[in-house]
Each structure stands twice: as structure tokens, then as C-alpha cells.
Amino acid sequence: MWMTRAKMKILVTDTHQIPSFHFGSCHQHHTKTSIPYNLVRRICITVSEKDTRNIRLNELKTYLLKQKYTEQLIDNFVLQIKFSIAKEAVLSLISILSAIG
């Protein structure tokens, strides 16, 4: 039996707000970077359609750039998370195949 992912999108309403800090704020570095990292992760995990996911990531990137986050920081988050998700998928597949035979 093959499992397929449900097609999911993120619902954006009038009351939707992205929680983040201006990168120049006085908050600690890990606080300023953990919020965008988790926002990117949430998009990558929740949105299953590649085109929609890329649109949402670009929207988030545009917003974060306005908040003075660097493009390199944002791109690194996206690469880290995509690699992490791919790694989890491969490990899961290996686990399933080893259980089968």
C-alpha cells in the first residue's frame, strides 16, 4: 500500500499576522532567527504542492527582507529545512524497506 500526502495549503485571513522581529531589534540572535526558521519549516511541512510552497516561501522571504533579515540567512534556512525533510523521508523509506525484507 502506497501512502500519498494530502494536498494542503495555508489559509491566510485578514487577521493573519507573521510573528517576527525587525532584525536590528535588541532581542538575542537566537530569538530573532528561530521565528523565521520555524515559519519556513512550517511552510515546507504544511504545503504539499511544490509550486504553492515556493510561492509561500517567496512571500515570506519578501516580508523578512523588509524586516532587514539577510537574503543569505533566509536562503540558508530554506536549504537546511529542505535537506532535513529529504533526509527524514529517505530514513523513513529505508526503515520501511528493511521491515519488508
16-68 pLDDT, tens per residue? Answer: 566 666 777 788 888 888 888 998 999 988 888 889 989 999 999 998 999 89
Report for 58-62, 84-88, 95-99: range of highest mean pLDDT? 58-62
The whole-model pTM stands at 0.70
- 72 within domain boundaries: yes
Q: How many domains does the chain have?
A: 1
User: H-type helices in the chain, by residue range?
Assistant: 29-46, 50-66, 71-100
- 4 within domain boundaries: no
Domain extent at residue 81: 29-100
- 20 within domain boundaries: no
- 3 within domain boundaries: no
- 18 within domain boundaries: no
Return d(Cα 79, Cα 29) in angstroms, integer: 20
